[in-house]
Amino acid sequence: MSEPIPDARLLAVAGWDVPLAGRAVALLAEAVDRLGPWRARLESVGRALAAGDCWSGPAAQSAVAALAEVSAVTSAVGAAVEEALSACRRVVAEADQAQVLALHALAAGGPQSTVDAALRHAGRAAAAAESAGDALAGLGVRDAFAPADFQDLLTFVPVMGPFQAPAIPPPRPPVEIAEWWAGLSSARQGAAIGAMPAAVGALDGVPAWARDRANRLVLRQALADPATPDGAAATARAVAARIAEEEAAGRRVQLQLLDLPGDRMALAIGDLDAADAVAVVVPGIFNTAADDLVGLTGDAVDLAGATRTASPGMEVAAVVWLGYRTPSNLVQAAFRTNAERGGRALAAALDGLAAARRAVATPAPRTTVVAHSYGTYVVDEAADEPGRLAADAAVLVGSPGMEDDAASLEVPAVFDAATPADPITYATWFGESKTWERGYGSTELPTDPLEGHSDYFGPDHPTLAAMGEVVAGTRQPE
């Protein structure tokens, strides 16, 4: 009795070179990974040209338009190739399963159920391959043929305006917001900023340059609108004045947050998108942008200077983070309500800074949270949020007591500063743990014996230089 003739379809599946397909998918994935950072660098050049930072005039504007065109095409290509990559991964997975089953059926004369399963997986692989082709068809890719050059590609990818602003996604984690923003072309990013500046400016995960541009639009609108409430108008004037003075002094300024109705703002001295080290300064009670921004910005500038002294050549950004409504009276200060809200906002802000850099493959900065007085409670609450606190170090100065120990803050290094002349550090308003006690587990920073509660950032005291060393990463915990 003769052997049954093998199913020709099984023989074909058994002969597939699945490893070769897998290597091709890996190469495609590597290309996709490189495309996003390359586009981010290109768009950074475009923004510098548009601002006239390095070149101006008609030729520069032509270059800006050309870069915008390239960005739009790159965005379309990236989206299509990512979709094709997902389909190709399904091809490899299904083909591998199909081949294993086909070889088993051929070797053992397997049951019909094995044959059917092999052909079913083979069919799914074919369907996934067709999906990959469909994803690339919009770029003019047909069979083995693709557009010959950029001009040929332009016939398939419409890039000229007007550009419709993308819809702002519903509330999502900062990492998802960062990925959404990075997937937009520069033209669509610009359209979103122009159409919805308040929404874009408040999104943790959007890069600092975009939030700055959006929040400055909000600021200008508030200053120009006579119906702006008095309190919001006072804050807007204070922020605008601070920006003007810092920029007149030659410093880079980014308006990271501007929530006038909520009396919240964050102002960075330096470039958060490129800094090697970032210090997020969290003030305590009675601090508002309208009344205290001059002094708080001065502290941030001094801290950035101390960091550069500790590590010459380091790019530093220091943020005045009033991202929560600080207690305005002693009754509010006696409760943790403001700190709880601030903790949620601080955790999201830190996640957003990290995610925005990660989305365009920019190395993460060394991030240090420097909290003063009631601000240390905000850090305490931020550490209680899901996930680890996105910081490398925390500095607690003038703390009125903490709930747990230094390890509960979830950062690799915790430092503290407290002096006998600061009675606040003897309080246990919200916890029995005093940061200066050995059992708390933090590393003590140098102080002057007469250094008071508001003196830790003083240039004449040793604490400022030590905090700069922490931000730079040159001072290690004990």
3-state secondary structure of 255: strand
Establish if 327 belongs to a structural domain. Answer: yes
Establish if 172 belongs to a structural domain. Answer: no
Listed residue (103, 96, 98, 95) closest to 6, CA to CA: 103
How does DSSP assign 339-392, residue by residue? Answer: HHHHHHHHHHHHHHHHHHHHHTTPPPPEEEEEEETTHHHHHHHHHTSSS--S-S
* pLDDT attached to residue 53: 66
CA gap 393, 350 in Å, rounded: 12
Establish if 247 belongs to a structural domain. Answer: yes
* pLDDT attached to residue 62: 64
pLDDT in tens, 177-231: 999 998 887 777 888 888 899 999 999 999 999 999 999 999 999 999 999 999 9
* pLDDT attached to residue 1: 38
Establish if 17 belongs to a structural domain. Answer: yes
> Under a CB-based contact definition with an 8 Å cutoff, are residues 213 and 196 in contact?
no
Same domain, 326 and 448: yes
* pLDDT attached to residue 200: 95
The residue from 118, 143, 168 where one domain ends is 143
Same domain, 290 and 397: yes
Same domain, 451 and 336: yes
CA gap 240, 323 in Å, rounded: 17
CA dihedral over 271, 272, 274, 276, signed as positive or negative: positive
pLDDT in tens, 310-334: 999 999 999 999 999 998 877 777 7
The residue from 143, 169, 198 where one domain ends is 143
CA gap 221, 105 in Å, rounded: 72
Q: How many domains does the chain have?
A: 2
Counting every residue, how long is the chain?
A: 478
CATH code where residue 364 lies: 3.40.50.1820
Same domain, 131 and 264: no
Give start and end residues of each alpha helix (H) in 225-336: 230-248, 289-310, 330-333
Establish if 208 belongs to a structural domain. Answer: no
> Under a CB-based contact definition with an 8 Å cutoff, are residues 243 and 253 in contact?
yes
**Does pTM top 0.85 for this prediction?**
no
Establish if 251 belongs to a structural domain. Answer: yes
Same domain, 29 and 127: yes
Q: What is the largest CA-CA distance in the chain?
A: 104
Establish if 96 belongs to a structural domain. Answer: yes
CA gap 371, 376 in Å, rounded: 5
> Under a CB-based contact definition with an 8 Å cutoff, are residues 350 and 394 in contact?
no
Establish if 191 belongs to a structural domain. Answer: no
> Under a CB-based contact definition with an 8 Å cutoff, are residues 318 and 303 in contact?
yes
Which value, to the nearest 10 degrees, does the dihedral of the CA atoms of residues 216, 217, 222, 227 take? 180
Model confidence band, residue 405 (pLDDT cutoffs 50, 70, 90): very high
pLDDT in tens, 146-177: 776 666 676 677 655 545 667 888 889 999 99
Same domain, 335 and 450: yes
* pLDDT attached to residue 203: 96
Q: What is the mean pLDDT of residues 414-422?
A: 94
Token couple for 399: 């703390």
Range of the domain at 88: 8-143
Q: What is the mean pLDDT of residues 245-270?
A: 96
Token couple for 30: 């590597």
The residue from 121, 143, 165 where one domain ends is 143
Same domain, 118 and 236: no
